[in-house]
Amino acid sequence: MKAIINVFLKNGVLDSQGKAVQHALSGHGFETVRDVRVGKQIIVEMDESDVAVAKEKVAHMCEELLANTVIEEYEIEIQK
Amino acid sequence: MSAKMKVGILQFPGTNCEYDTQHAFNDLGCETAILWHKEDSIPEGIDLVVVAGGFSYGDYLRSGAIAKMSPIMKALKKYAKAGGKVLGICNGFQVLTETGLLPGALKRNEGLHFISRHHHLKVVSNDNDFLRHCTQGDVVNIPIAHHDGNYFIDEQGLKQLHANNQILLQYTNEKGEIENPNGSVESIAGICNEAKNVFGLMPHPERAMESLLGSCDGRRMLEGFLNR
């Protein structure tokens, strides 16, 4: 089973990297760009058969290590 | 004469300021020991634990994030909970916020650059063991060297820092006027916990020990821990 975890800065926490990328895109003629957020994707392969159990374990991993919940939020997608 | 103060300095893979820190405390007359991160206890008789600067685990995932999973960190939490004194410098500050021993978090610098230069800092609170030899409003000149020094804390957390005098230092110019190099909330360069036994700052006092090397202001800061 595979877990895809996306980690982004929370709304309200300034994403300086996103802003820099946004400026670069706008400067290159992509005028319709309104906002850019830069985050990271973490892919975890697990020996689990139960989706709910896997999801719970990954949420625990996010709280413990994969995300810093003071500034970041995360989304988990489980793929069989 | 009283017994020498004993300082333990944590070392993770990628830590690179442990020997500068050791030199600084030896120079102040302390006994020092480097503590490898695989150790699962803080040795008896240690008066201060310093989490030294560097790039623990290559800053992978987030600065200080992987270090917090090391065996010694469990021991450090216990040590701090029992009232033991802890100082985190630069990456050490990041490790302490990641561990939850200090509130807030350190983000990528607002300008996205790694900043390495001397910076002036204003002493905001001195009613603590660390800065007791400084006067409120004093301006010190201390090197900074970081990529992720942009201190973030939410509004409620900030209120608490103010209410308990937990803000230690702010980035300023030489006149003590706010000059924010990295986007930190209220230009905060260093804080302590509510109990005032855990301290963290991005600047490097251990690199400001000799006037020949630009500043000896770090001496007066680190001396605060002595003879207490």
- The SS3 call for residue B37 is coil
pLDDT of residue A27: 93
A2 CA to centre of own chain: 15
Bridge partners, B135 (sequence order): none
Domain span at A43: 2-79
pTM to 2 decimal places: 0.95
Q: What's the pLDDT tens digit per position in B95-149?
A: 999 999 999 999 999 999 999 999 999 999 999 999 999 999 999 999 999 999 9
Residue among A37, A62, A70, A73 with most chain B CBs within 10 A, to mutate? A70
For residue B111, give the nearest of B146, B141, B144 by alpha carbon: B146
pLDDT of residue B90: 98
Residue among A9, A10, A16, A22 with most chain B CBs within 10 A, to mutate? A16
Contacts of B102 in chain A (CB under 8 A): none
- Would you call A70 and B108 a contact, using CB atoms and an 8 Å cutoff? no
CATH number for the domain including A52?
Answer: 3.30.1280.10
Segment B16-39 mean pLDDT: 97
- Would you call B109 and A9 a contact, using CB atoms and an 8 Å cutoff? no
Q: What's the pLDDT tens digit per position in B64-107?
A: 999 999 999 999 999 999 999 999 999 999 999 999 999 999 99
Among this protein's residues, is B192 annotated catalytic?
Answer: no
Q: What is the ipTM of this complex?
A: 0.89
d(CA B46, CA B124): 28
| Closest Cα in chain B to A68 | B98
With 0-12 CB in 10 A as exposed, 13-18 as middle and 19+ as buried, what is B139? middle
Q: Tell me which of B30, B90, B134, B192 is the catalytic residue.
A: B90
Contacts of B107 in chain A (CB under 8 A): 9, 13-14, 16, 71
CATH topology assigned to domain B6-225: Rossmann fold (3.40.50)
pLDDT at B1 over 50: no
Segment B34-54 mean pLDDT: 97
Task: Enumerate the domain spans of chain B.
Answer: 6-225
Strands B48-51 and B85-89: parallel
Query: What DSSP character marks residue A34?
Result: -
Count of structural domains, chain A: 1
Among this protein's residues, is B206 annotated catalytic?
Answer: yes
Relative orientation angle of helices B91-99 and B71-81, to the nearest 10 degrees: 80
